Amino acid sequence: MIERMSALDGQRVLCLRGPLTVENLSSFQNAIRREENVPTVILDLSDVPYMDSSGLGSLVSAYVTRQKATRRIALSGVNERVLRLFETTKVEPLFLIFPTLDDAITGLTTAAEA
């Protein structure tokens, strides 16, 4: 399940709940597509216990698509298990990763104003 929240101007927060796997990939991809014109999307993964290779692939795909359009994607609340997956697959450097959603909103807002 994905909950869509507005943050500040130019930011949208998508809170994902449950594992990001092949079973629920289409709802994730649709949610990301709906935000294609938003400069920054923050994906809050606090309630994502794990993801499979399909979930990881769709995250990387979302990153690439947004980069090409000069749009940003940031992650917050990434747990140890998901972070290990990022590190093992060497995709961790692609993402701006913040410990909490508040940190992400604050950090990205400050960066935008700087």
> What pLDDT score does 2 carry?
86
Q: How far is CA 6 from the centre of its chain?
A: 14
pLDDT digits (tens, 9 = 90+) for 14-63: 999 999 999 999 999 999 999 989 999 999 999 999 999 999 999 999 99
> What pLDDT score does 23 carry?
94
Helix intervals (H) in the chain: 25-34, 53-68, 80-88, 101-113
Percent of the chain with pLDDT over 90: 82
Which letter does DSSP use for residue 94 in this model? G
Whether pLDDT at 76 is above 70: yes
Phi, psi of 17 (to 5 degrees): -125, 125
Whether pLDDT at 114 is above 60: no
Average pLDDT of the chain to the nearest whole number: 92
Whether pLDDT at 90 is above 60: yes
